């Protein structure tokens, strides 16, 4: 259901109020924020300008265009896909339906990595498996300026997005983008393995919010019957791909801590196995060190 066109033929203050009410009625969990983000991107402005000029009226053409954006949100499309970007680590990342939208929880993985590695440390060879939008790899390349990052993904569309993000953030010259499954097309060993792999059990996919199920790439979400199919492969293959003393950091899903810990222990090649909770109190990042 879309809003009546005449609802948009008015000032910014009223537009924001009516859009927020409209989105709230259709189930948006953050209607006011959605309204502000959509409008400031549509008008190519910022929140401060919206607040400073609440009396500004949209033209008829602007009103019609914004109504189409709101209709897309009505149908459940995530705001990030509508505006074409998502903030992560205080940086703007291009996103589209080829890639999973970066989540704030994944910043915990970045924080955990940076707790072990110094920006002024030696050269590091890093692999970001299933890079998607490139968010993890790009941030690490920025934060660790002597590192070189290999970013892999099975999706050529995702790699196109990741390359553009690397270029925008000035790290493309220290990143290599390779299409392939896990380590399959990448030679050599690494100091650091990072990944936010799919971790939703197949029978739990239907429990995800409709906006996730209907718009985000399924192959970036589902990971076999227990949600650990990719963790299992990365941990197994990683034992032979990490240099001695190298580390691995993996994002994990709800209730997967014990399973992932067992995978690390059973492999026999890892020590210093640890877990980091996100800011919601859920175990979110698993890490381990390759024994020398």
- Cα radius of gyration rounded to whole Å, the chain: 21
Domains and their CATH numbers in the chain: 5-75 (1.10.8.10), 97-290 (3.40.50.150)
How confident is the model over 221-238, as a mean pLDDT?
94
Query: Rounded mean pLDDT of 172-192?
Result: 95
Q: Under a CB-based contact definition with an 8 Å cutoff, are residues 97 and 121 in contact?
A: no
| pLDDT value, residue 121 | 66
- On the CB side of 133, CA atoms within 13 Å amount to 27
Count the Cβ atoms, other than its own, within 10 Å of residue 252: 24
Q: In this model, does residue 4 exceed pLDDT 70?
A: no
| Structure tokens, 125 | 């060879």
User: pTM of the prediction?
Assistant: 0.91
For residue 25, the number of C-alpha atoms closer than 13 Å in the C-beta half-sphere is: 10
Confidence of residue 50 (pLDDT cuts 50, 70, 90): confident
pLDDT score of 1 more than 60: no
User: Is the pLDDT assigned to residue 151 strictly greater than 70?
Assistant: yes
For residues 181-206, average pLDDT: 93
Helices vs. strands in the chain: H and E counts, helices first: 11, 9
Check residues 164 and 50 and name the one with the higher pLDDT. 164
Looking from the CA of 94 toward its CB, the CA atoms found within 13 Å total: 14
Read off the pLDDT of residues 55-106 as tens digits, 9 standing for 90 and up.
888 888 998 999 999 999 999 999 999 999 999 999 999 999 999 999 999 9
């Amino acid at each position: 259901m879309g809003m009546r066109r005449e609802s948009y033929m008015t000032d910014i203050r009223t537009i924001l109020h009516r859009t927020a009410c409209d989105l709230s009625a259709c189930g948006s969990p953050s209607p006011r924020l959605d309204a502000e983000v959509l409008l400031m991107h549509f008008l190519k402005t910022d929140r401060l300008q919206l607040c400073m000029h609440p009396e500004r009226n949209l033209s008829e053409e602007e009103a019609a265009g914004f109504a189409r954006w709101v209709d897309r949100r009505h149908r459940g499309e995530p705001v990030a896909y509508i505006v074409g970007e998502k903030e992560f680590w205080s940086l703007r990342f291009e996103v589209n339906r080829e890639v999973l939208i970066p989540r704030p929880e994944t910043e915990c993985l970045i924080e955990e990595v940076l707790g072990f590695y110094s920006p002024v440390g030696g050269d590091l060879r890093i692999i970001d498996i299933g890079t998607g939008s490139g968010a993890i790899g790009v941030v690490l390349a920025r934060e660790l300026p002597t590192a070189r990052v290999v970013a892999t993904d099975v999706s050529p569309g995702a790699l196109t997005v990741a390359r553009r993000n690397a270029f925008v953030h000035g790290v493309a010259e220290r990143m290599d983008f390779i299409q392939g499954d896990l380590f399959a097309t990448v030679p050599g060993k690494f100091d650091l393995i990072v990944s936010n792999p799919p971790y939703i059990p197949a029978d739990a996919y239907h429990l995800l919010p409709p906006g996730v199920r209907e718009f985000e790439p399924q192959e970036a979400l589902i990971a076999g019957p227990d949600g650990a199919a990719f963790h299992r492969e990365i941990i197994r293959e990683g034992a032979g791909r990490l240099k001695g003393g190298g580390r691995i950091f993996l994002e994990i899903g709800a209730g997967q801590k014990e399973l992932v810990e067992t995978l690390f222990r059973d492999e026999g090649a890892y020590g210093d196995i640890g877990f980091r909770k996100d800011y919601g109190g859920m175990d979110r990042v698993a890490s381990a060190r390759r024994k020398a």
